[in-house]
Amino acid sequence: MMLQSTRRKRLFSILFASAFLLFLGLQAAPARAGTITYFDVQLGSWNGSSFTADGSKWNTGYYGPNWAIGATDPVPGYPLLNSEPGGYYRLAPGDYSTVNLPPGNYWLYMASNDDTSATAIELTLGFSDNTSITEVFTTGSGGSPQFYGDYTLVRGSGFDLSFVNPPQYGYAPAGSGGYNQCYNYNGSPDWVVDFNTPEPSTAILLPIGLLALAFLGRKRLGLAL
């Protein structure tokens, strides 16, 4: 009888600890509900506590004073995943090209505007459930995010961002267009970043595993909660 009581207490301790860890994991990992409906990239500076945009802006999903972001699978030369890329596709004022992508790994192409003074990059990710996640990264070298890699996360959580290529002509699906987003090769070199929404972290997987083991143990011992 005493042995069963000890096992019951141990089981409840495991359940409580697992539930607490699961709660902490869910608090630390932002929800990624629905599909990705827009990317918004801005360049600027980071003063240690806040990001200040310098006017360099690229996005999808809505029209504005910006240049285009072309999203592809993370392989050189793959076609655009934007909703209306076509072969030669230029947006007229007031039009927009959206994305509707499941969370995952993508390359983002942006025509270079030769902004060499920026030292930080801010990426906002929008979802179909009207939620969004914003992160800010600085470059380890202190150079412009268009030309230098080694991105370091300084604010936010929920996805990864890394540098792929400085401005290049080999594959450039997003062109410069001033106030018109432009999805066609027009001679503008594109810089490329790798965006990825990672798999659930161990902060969530560990307590889930402990909960499963605890319930299996309860079943074997014939204990009722």
95-107 pLDDT, tens digit each: 557 788 999 999 9
- Report the C-alpha gap between 113 and 184 in whole angstroms: 16
| Neighbouring-strand partners of residue 38 | 126
Beta strands in the chain (DSSP E): 36-46, 51-59, 67-72, 89-90, 105-111, 120-127, 132-139, 151-155, 160-168, 182-183, 190-196
pLDDT tens for the 225 residues of the chain, in order: 555 555 555 545 554 544 444 444 444 444 455 899 989 999 999 999 999 999 999 988 655 567 888 899 999 888 888 876 444 455 555 455 778 899 999 999 999 988 999 999 999 999 999 899 999 999 977 789 999 888 999 999 889 999 999 999 888 888 776 555 677 666 789 999 999 986 554 444 444 554 555 555 555 545 444
Q: What pLDDT score does 173 carry?
A: 83
* In the chain, domain spans: 2-29+202-221, 36-196
Q: What is the pLDDT of residue 204?
A: 46
